[in-house]
Amino acid sequence: MSKVISRERLIREIEMYIEYNPNIYAKIAFYSDPEVQQILENIYTRWEEAGRRGIPLDFATIDELKVLASKALKYKDASARVLLDLDQLDRMVFRSLASSDAEKSS
């Protein structure tokens, strides 16, 4: 028997781990995650198209909510160390893009 997780439960988890979490590092890490950013961009687009009725998470698919809840759980206890790791990841991506652009220019 598979366990079905409700939309409401996923939204509560996201809110509990991120929105109501006093840990600012959790918020920064969550909203800095590229996958979270892409999902939120899609959700906000649908919310805007619906005339901003309800809350943006009302317009998330169940799969999007599962990813966001998973990321919220991952980052709920984040510390400054997580931000340093994210910054290093950003620099690696930037270096990769820069070297790719340099190769195209050659």
Write the CA distances from 57 to 7, 9, 12, 17, 66, integer angstroms. 9, 12, 10, 15, 12
Alpha carbon distance 53, 50 (integer Å):
6
Is residue 37 one of the residues assigned to a domain? yes
HSE of 73 in the Cβ direction (CA atoms, 13 Å)?
A: 9
Number of domains in the chain: 1
Per-residue confidence (pLDDT) for residue 78, from 0 to 100: 87
Alpha carbon distance 54, 71 (integer Å):
23
Q: What is the pLDDT along the chain (106 residues), one digit of tens a residue?
A: 446 789 999 999 999 999 999 998 899 889 989 999 999 999 999 999 999 999 999 999 999 999 999 999 999 998 877 666 665 555 554 455 555 555 555 5
Query: Can you give the residue range of the structural domain that contains 71?
Result: 7-79
Is residue 93 one of the residues assigned to a domain? no
Phi-psi region of 51 (alpha: psi -120 to 50; beta: other; left: phi over 0): left
The two tokens of residue 63 are 């799969």
Alpha carbon distance 46, 65 (integer Å):
14
Is residue 46 one of the residues assigned to a domain? yes
Is residue 101 one of the residues assigned to a domain? no
Per-residue confidence (pLDDT) for residue 88, from 0 to 100: 58
